[in-house]
Chain A
Amino acid sequence: EAQVTQNPRYLITVTGKKLTVTCSQNMNHEYMSWYRQDPGLGLRQIYYSMNVEVTDKGDVPEGYKVSRKEKRNFPLILESPSPNQTSLYFCASGPSGGTDTQYFGPGTRLTVL
C-alpha cells in the first residue's frame, strides 16, 4: 500500500530533551516536506526536500533540523524542544516539488512540557 508513515504518532516530552520524528514513504517520491498545524494558523511549512541531500527552509524552520540521506526517509529533529513547538506535525511526499499532489502522513501530535 502506497503510504507515508510517521512515528511516533503521539509524544509528550519535556523542554530541552532532544527528539526525532521519523517520516518514511514507499512511493519513490523525490519531494518530501514537514508541516506544523496550529489552531488559527493553518498548516505552515517547516522544511522541504526536493531530492536526496537537498533541503530548504520553509516558513517556520527555527528550532528544527532535517536531513535527507535516503530518498524514502526525512526525519524531523528537535534538538532542544520548547513549549512553543507543541503542535500537530505532518510529513508529506510528492513526485515533484510544489507542482504536484502531496500525500500526507497521519500526523504526530507533540506536546512539550
Chain B
Amino acid sequence: QKEVEQNSGPLSVPEGAIASLNCTYSDRGSQSFFWYRQYSGKSPELIMSIYSNGDKEDGRFTAQLNKASQYVSLLIRDSQPSDSATYLCAVSPGGKLIFGQGTELSVKP
C-alpha cells in the first residue's frame, strides 16, 4: 500500500461545478496535511494546509480532514478553467513530507 494515495484521474468537471479531490494516507502518526497545485511545467504551490479534524475554508477551497479514517479531501467550488492543474496531496509525519501521485483536474468551459 502506498503511503499517500490519490485518485489518479484525470478528473473532468464543467465550469462552475464542484470538484472533489480525495486522498488517503497510511501513517496514523501524521500531523500535518497539505494540498499543493501544480500547473503543467511549473513548480508546486501550496493552496491549503490543515492540521485538525474538520473543515477548513479559504475562498473557493475547502479542505476536509478525518484522522480516524485517514482521509483528506479538497473541494473546489465554482470551478474555473484556471483551476485546471494537477493537485498533490502531501502528508507530514514530522520532518519528512510525503506526496501522493497527484490528481489531474480539467475544468471545461
Interface residues of A (CB under 8 A from B): 33, 35, 40-45, 48, 50, 56, 58-59, 90, 97-102, 104-107
Contacts and interface: CB of A to CB of B under 8 A. Distances in A.
B101 A106 contact: no
Given A101-B46, A101-B49, A48 B96 contact: yes
Given A42-B102, A99-B31, A101-B49, A50 B44 contact: no
Interface of B: 31-32, 43-46, 49, 51, 88, 90, 92-102
Given A59-B98, A100-B49, A104-B45, 6 more contacts: A42-B99, A42-B101, A43-B99, A97-B95, A99-B31, A99-B94
Given A41-B101, A98-B32, A58 B96 contact: yes
Contacts, number: 55
Contacts of A104: 43-45
A59 to B, nearest CB: 7
23 contacts: A33-B97, A35-B99, A42-B102, A43-B88, A43-B99, A45-B96, A48-B95, A48-B97, A50-B95, A59-B98, A90-B43, A90-B44, A97-B92, A98-B32, A98-B92, A98-B93, A98-B96, A98-B97, A100-B49, A102-B46, A104-B43, A104-B45, A105-B43
